[in-house]
Chains A and B, each alone.
Chain A
Amino acid sequence: MEATPSDQTHNTAAAANHSSVAAISMSAANTNHRNPLRVDWPTIDGPLGLTEQDSVDHARRFFKFGFLFLPWLWAVNCFYFWPVLRRPGSNSDPELRRYVVGSSIGFMVFTVVLSTWALTFSIGGELLFGHAWDKLVMYNVAEKYGLTGLI
């Protein structure tokens, strides 16, 4: 195996990330400068997922989109970059890690708030809310507005 300049190998290896085997064997000084012996894929799909550079953009975009009341998007983001969360600090891009951790915190906060409300609503029921409960519960709303007949 010839020694190729690490940068070029980095780019081409990142581009050829179908085969982790290929990447591993090809990466003398490989995609991860900090850890020359292993290839660390940032995504859960491994070699089929994104490259490191694309990952940062992707994570950033999902993180920002998630502020539009989309906690599920944050969750998907965290799921996708699960290896980044699992690896303690040193092996991944700090910026990437920041976005992924931000997404996970956002998701957890949002979930706690939403589930508190939903559980209060469903467990409290009429006792807590009075007849506002009937006005808010979904099946009544659907009946009132005829939502089940749209399509």
Chain B
Amino acid sequence: MDQNSKPKSVLDSLGEEIVRIITPVSICMLLVVILISVLNNDSDSSGPSFTSIATYAYTENSSDSNWDKLKGALLNALVFVVVVTAVTFLLVLLFYFRCTKFLKYYMGFSSFLVLGFMGGEISLFLIGKFRVPIDCVTFGLSLFNFTVVGVLAVFMSKTAIVVTQGYLVVIGVFVAYWFALLPEWTTWVLLVAMALYDLAAVLLPGGPLRLLVELAISRDEDIPALVYEARPVVNPDSVPRGAVVQRRVWRERRENDDGSDDNLDSRSNLNSTVNSSLESSSGLERLGDENARNGVDVVDGQVSRADSELAAPLIQHRINVRMNLQEGGSSDDFALEGIGLGSSGAIKLGLGDFIFYSVLVARAAMYDFMTVYACYLAIVAGLGITLMLLAFYQKALPALPVSVLLGVLFYLLTRLLLETFVVQCSMNLLMF
């Protein structure tokens, strides 16, 4: 096989990768939009009257003036960002003291809460709305099953990839639905605040996420985090020995932690923060590790020792040149020229990104479907831009800012400008 031939087409593998990450994001957004439009048609921006960490400073009242609402929303967002920063630093601290077990258990516990309680409540809403004649025994049993298997899927990484991915998307849907129930102004200001926080936390030298990432690199460890990992694109053309060698690069793939904390809204005292921190589907990484350790042995039969040793320092250098999306690692493998063909590793996206994208679209859905389409396009475009920047800069990048800021911009433009235009045109039978 030709050692230097490129894979079928870079566009094929790259396009496939991008599709594999955009699909779950789209599914998550679709599900949340459906839930919102089914359940919340009557109440729109009034929202439920629960207090949560995100409405701590100010509870929105529809009779307040716009300026008051804006001030209140800013206060809320500030409180939220402060809490998130504090918890992220706590996470860094815990990771620094190697309390990985504790983090993993916490992740399992919070997924249990999300799937069990939030999922249960959402299903109860649906059952109540559609008057589904299900009895409590069946319901309880199904919920119990669903929750336990979900916790297992997220907690240990040995379940089927599809199952793990599905459960992560479902967790994202539930949390996003709850976030979308916050008051309107608070939601929008919160989104913008989180986007800016993301930018700061990942790019500034003192940012908690950056510290976490650097800790993980220096220790050569995996961060426990709730990240969605797309299935890697396996290149069928790759030379066997090249394939073996480049699989070792996967070991260097660091998952960037999802440091964003999504707070559970709780009427009771559930102030726990879903600080997503369990690496799901890390079966990949684990195998990569084993492979790396056995790398030399495995390759022994195939490649000469000299080659493998040569490859190793190359890989070492690559460690620092990781590509990561904030709140989740996006790891693209690099083509090891001369040794084999490039095959990309899997792209990873943190669950916080899923959640905030879906919250944005859900909020747009509460207004009208036109804004949904506009915001969806904006978010996907933002995600594409982020991935391109990733390939360009090859370092940890936050995934929220571009998409969220574009999304908010498009929402405002659509709501304020496009809508009047389209409505007038339709009423006069001019267009659409």
Instruction: Spell out A's residues near B (CB within 8 Å).
Output: 1-2, 4, 8-9, 12-13, 15-22, 24-26, 43-45, 47-50, 54, 58, 69-73, 76, 79-80, 114, 117-118, 121-122, 125, 136-139, 141-143, 147-151
Query: Is B211 part of the contact surface with A, judged by Cβ < 8 Å?
Result: no
B427 surroundings in chain A (CB, below 8 A): none
Q: State whether A21 and B136 are in contact (beta carbons under 8 Å apart), knowing that A69-B144, A76-B159 are contacts in the complex.
A: no
Pairwise interchain contact B163-A76, C-beta atoms closer than 8 A: yes
Report whether A148 and B124 are in contact in the complex, using a CB–CB cutoff of 8 Å: yes
Please state if A22 and B240 are interface contacts (CB–CB under 8 Å).
yes
Give the chain B neighbours of A72 by CB distance below 8 A.
Answer: 142, 145-146, 148-149
Residues A76 and B160 in contact in the complex (CB < 8 Å), given A117-B138, A138-B139? yes
Residues of B within 8 A of A142 (CB): 124, 127-128
Quick one: closest A residue to B290, CB to CB? A15
Tell me if B152 is interfacial: C-beta within 8 Å of chain A.
yes
Q: Is B221 an interface residue (CB 8 A)?
A: no
Question: Within the assembled complex, what's the spacing in Å between the Cα atoms of A58 and B136?
Answer: 32
Let me know if A70 and B117 touch, CB within 8 A. Answer: no
Q: What DSSP secondary structure best describes chain B's contact surface?
A: helix
CB of B193 closer than 8 Å to a CB of A: no
Given A114-B141, A150-B117, A76 and B149 contact (CB-CB distance below 8 Å): yes
Residue from B145, B266, B284, B293 in contact with A48 in the complex, judged by beta carbons closer than 8 Å:
B284
Within 8 Å CB of B338, what residues of A? none
Bound CA span A114–B138, Å: 7
Taking a contact as CB atoms under 8 Å apart, the answer to whether A73 and B238 are in contact is no
- Residues on B lying within 8 angstroms of A by beta carbon are 50, 117-118, 120-121, 124-125, 127-128, 131-139, 141-142, 144-146, 148-149, 152-153, 158-163, 178, 231-232, 234, 236, 238, 240-241, 243-244, 247, 250, 264-268, 270, 283-284, 287-288, 290-291, 293-294, 297-298, 300-302
24 A-B pairs within 8 Å (CB atoms) are namely A12-B297, A16-B244, A16-B298, A17-B287, A19-B234, A21-B236, A21-B243, A22-B247, A26-B298, A48-B287, A49-B283, A72-B145, A73-B145, A73-B148, A76-B160, A121-B133, A122-B133, A137-B133, A137-B136, A147-B121, A148-B124, A151-B118, A151-B264, A151-B268
- A21 — which chain B residues lie within 8 A by C-beta? 236, 238, 240, 243
Q: Which residues of B contact A121 (CB under 8 A)?
A: 133-135, 138
Shortest C-beta distance, B167 to chain A (Å), equals 10
> Please, how many angstroms separate the alpha-carbon atoms of A41 and B266 in the complex?
45
Contact A138 B132 (CB under 8 A): yes
How many Å lie between the Cα of A45 and that of B417 in the bound state? 49
Question: A18 CA to B45 CA in the complex, in Å?
Answer: 49
User: B161 → chain A, closest Cβ, in Å?
Assistant: 5
* CB atoms of B287 and A148 under 8 A apart: no
Given A21-B243, A45-B160, 18 further pairs, Cβ under 8 A: A15-B293, A16-B290, A16-B298, A18-B287, A22-B247, A24-B240, A26-B301, A47-B234, A48-B161, A48-B283, A72-B148, A76-B149, A117-B137, A121-B134, A121-B135, A122-B134, A139-B132, A151-B270
Contacts of B134 in A (CB 8 A): 118, 121-122, 137-138
Q: Are B133 and A15 in contact (CB under 8 A)?
A: no
**Which of A49, A147, A150 lies in contact with B267, CB distance below 8 A?**
A150
A117 vs B141: C-alpha distance when bound (angstroms): 12
Task: Please report the C-alpha to C-alpha distance between residue A49 and residue B266 in the assembled complex, in whole angstroms.
Answer: 38
Q: Is the CB of B145 within 8 A of A71?
A: yes
Residue on B nearest A14 in the bound complex, by CB: B290
A141 to B243, CA, bound (A): 57
Contacts of A9 in B (CB 8 A): 301
Cross-chain contact B149 with A148 (CB below 8 angstroms): no
Nearest CB in chain B to that of A139: its residue: B128
B152 contacts across to A, CB distance below 8 A: 73
Q: In the complex, what residue of chain A is closest to B293 when comparing beta carbons? A: A15
Task: Return the chain A residue nearest B150 by Cβ.
Answer: A72
Docked CA distance A95–B368 (Å): 56
Q: Would A147 and B124 be within 8 Å (CB), given that A19-B234, A76-B160 are in contact? A: yes
Which residues of B lie under 8 Å from residue A12 when comparing CB positions?
294, 297-298
Q: Residue of A at shortest CB range from B133?
A: A122
A45:B302 contact, CB within 8 angstroms = no
Closest 7 CB pairs of A and B: A72-B145, A25-B240, A19-B243, A122-B133, A18-B247, A15-B290, A22-B244
* Chain B residues near A43 (CB-CB < 8 A): 160
Q: Hey, which chain B residues are within 8 Å of A19, CB to CB?
A: 234, 238, 240, 243-244, 247
Residue of B nearest to A28 (CB): B301
